[in-house]
Amino acid sequence: MRTFDRYILSHLLMVFGFFSLILVAVYWVNRAVSLFDRLIAGGSNVSLFLELTLLTLPSVILTVLPISALVATLYGVNRLSGESELVVAQTTGLSPWTMARPVLYFGLCVAVLLSLLAHLLVPVSRTMLVEQNQELSRDITGRFLKDGEFLHPGTGITVYVREITEQGELRGVFLQDRRDAAARTTYTAERAVLLRAGDSPRLVMFEGAAQTLHTDTRGLTVVSFADFTYDLAGLVGGPASPRKDPRSLDTATLLRADATDLARDGVKRGVYLFEGHNRFAEPIFAAALPVLAIALLMLGSFSRLGLWRQILAAVFLAILLKLTSNVVENAVRGNAGLWPLTYLPAVITMGMAALALSWNAYAPRKLVRGVPA
């Protein structure tokens, strides 16, 4: 690798690392806040919260890296242009292809990272995350057996237990169900126990009352009971759904799934094929995007005033390519026979990059800061 290539590559990698850390932190904190509210409100401990947020990290990094690669290329090249370093390189006679070569090396480094994440780390972390969520959904004690605190195990549900005995009996139970806007019911009981009948959990309350407020008539109905069984299946989850998350499966399984596997998992073949092929297409797209960016930046002369018009054009094209990827995803998921279209955004990006570099190489040379290049 030549000195010029090493210099540009090291500069881009340093900027890439900086922007990746910032974007990963922003995305991760945003997810962590919503997860924290849900878990802590449901009575889960902090260690479980940390474990689940760490398991979401590979998926966050996979989402962020292509964005970081584009931003790093635009920022890095614009900065080198402002410091006249690329101007010097251009005046020495380096061709656009030569100047784009270290950016291609940089794109390949990003592609390797994305491939490692897409094919290995994300499926493993998603599998562990699914298992944790299933265990959490079956964990009745984590949601109800916490005395002296108001808990919210589900949307529109509030639970309070004054005391829990050593035998596991609940004393002084308060449960409010606001899921039905037309009839809000509040249950109070002297004592209660948690039972599980098969996969369906139950809260059996003794010596209590149910007060139902009918919001349309503003009427209040009060019913006393010696014992009452409240079904918790809708709150803590019933048996696990057979439908699998494609992101948790390995690539070979996604590409080779037959009709039996699809029927068992409850998904269309197009869903699996897109996920499997996208694990190859996304790294190619991420490698080509920085090359397209520098090719567009070289369409204008390098200047200390910056390359803002070219930068805006590169960002606009990146958005269009991402929208194209979304359209392709919907098409392939609906029709498995269209799976080759998964590679379309990557192919378009490579073609545009090659076209822009060829134009820079063979078009009449421009002025560089007022000096013929």
| Phi and psi based region of residue 93 (left: phi greater than 0; alpha: psi -120 to 50; beta: remaining) | left
Q: What is the pLDDT along the chain (373 residues), one digit of tens a residue?
A: 678 888 899 999 999 999 999 999 988 888 777 777 666 555 556 677 778 888 889 999 999 999 999 999 999 888 887 767 766 776 777 788 888 899 999 999 999 999 999 999 999 999 988 887 766 665 555 555 677 888 877 778 888 999 888 887 899 999 999 888 888 999 999 999 888 766 667 889 999 999 999 888 888 999 999 999 988 776 654 444 545 788 889 999 899 887 777 777 778 889 999 999 999 999 999 999 999 999 988 876 555 555 788 889 999 999 999 999 999 999 999 999 999 999 999 999 999 999 999 988 776 554 344 444 4
- Domain ranges within the chain, ordered by starting residue: 3-138+243-372
Q: What tokens appear for 140 in the block?
A: 């009745």
DSSP class of 117:
I
pLDDT tens digits, one per residue of 23-40: 999 888 887 777 776 665
Give CA separation, 59 vs 12, 56, 366, in Å. Answer: 23, 6, 43
H-type helices in 83-229, by residue range?
85-91, 96-116, 122-138, 140-144
- Residue 214 sits at φ, ψ, to 5 deg, of -90, 110
Say how many CA atoms lie within 13 Å of 28 toward its Cβ: 20
Q: How many angstroms from the chain centroid is the CA of residue 16? A: 19
Is residue 205 within 8 Å of residue 187, measured between CB atoms? yes
Euclidean distance between CA atoms 176 and 222, whole angstroms? 14
SS (H, E, C) 101-113: HHHHHHHHHHHHH
Count of beta carbons in the 10 Å neighbourhood of residue 206 = 16
* Contacts of residue 112, Cβ cutoff 8 Å, sequence gap at least 6: 283
The CA dihedral of 224, 229, 231, 235, to the nearest 10 degrees, is 70
* pLDDT value for 321: 95
Token reading at 237: 């989850």
Residue 250, both tokens: 């390995």
Calpha distance 314→310 (Å, rounded): 6
Written as one string, the DSSP assignment of 31-51 is HHHHHHHHHHHTT--HHHHHH
- Contact (Cβ atoms closer than 8 angstroms) between residue 84 and residue 304: yes
